[in-house]
Chain A
């Protein structure tokens, strides 16, 4: 059972993690992760294992896009299991091509002591999280 209330799970996902990504705030994003956290993109089976590997992936993501937006969230949050699964839309605009691409995604976040221990990402198209 979690020490955090239901809204904590929704807030860390939307107001800290995705808000940080959408605004290029690396400290806000990385503050959501434990040092030994992992992030795995399931559709391409891409594993980012550990804080530094996750940060490296976000450095590349921020460098490649002029706009990143996450919205249309629907959450399945479970305080007993310290987990939240979120469905959402993503729009990104490439700095290089100026092309806007939209994805429909689903993430599973598993938390420990209020931070992400493991994150699993599904994307509708080619993975952004290389």
Chain B
């Protein structure tokens, strides 16, 4: 679906990298959830995992943040389609579990923005999906 976004190029990048990923890495759950509309959807497309609605998205992030001691997203390359309220970013996800085991993923996210928040998020992963 095509949505109307109110964000310009810099604001789209700020939403994706600073308001979303920086808060995921710092485990600021409330700030992460504030990036989403109540009826937003996250789809991990490479594993067909769907999280529909803010409550389900919250449950997924609680488990994700509890499951890893350290979460780092880095090395972003952003592609911004300001006229259509869309942004994609490739990045490295570096995850450290409580036993010290590290997982490295090279993922790409696609965000579709309605107003100033995420309406749809699609994640394509290079490996096994930790967002279950």
Q: What is A's interface to B at a CB cutoff of 8 Å?
A: 6, 42-43, 45, 74-78, 80-81, 83-85, 87, 104-106, 108, 120, 122-124
Bitwise, B80-100 to A at CB < 8 A (1) or not (0) is 110110111010000000000
Is the interface on chain B under 10, 10 to 19, 20 to 34, or 35 or more residues? 20 to 34
- A42 partner residues in chain B, CB cutoff 8 A: 106, 108, 124, 126
A-B CB proximity, top 6 nearest: A122-B124, A85-B88, A76-B86, A76-B81, A106-B124, A76-B88
A-B pairs with beta carbons under 8 Å apart, 18 shown: A43-B124, A43-B125, A74-B112, A75-B81, A76-B84, A78-B79, A78-B80, A81-B79, A84-B79, A85-B79, A85-B88, A85-B110, A87-B122, A104-B45, A105-B45, A106-B108, A106-B124, A124-B45
Q: State whether B81 touches A78 (Cβ < 8 A).
A: yes
- A108 partner residues in chain B, CB cutoff 8 A: 79, 88, 90, 108
Q: How many A-B residue pairs have CB under 8 A?
A: 70
How far apart sit A120 and B90, CA to CA, in the bound complex (Å)?
A: 10
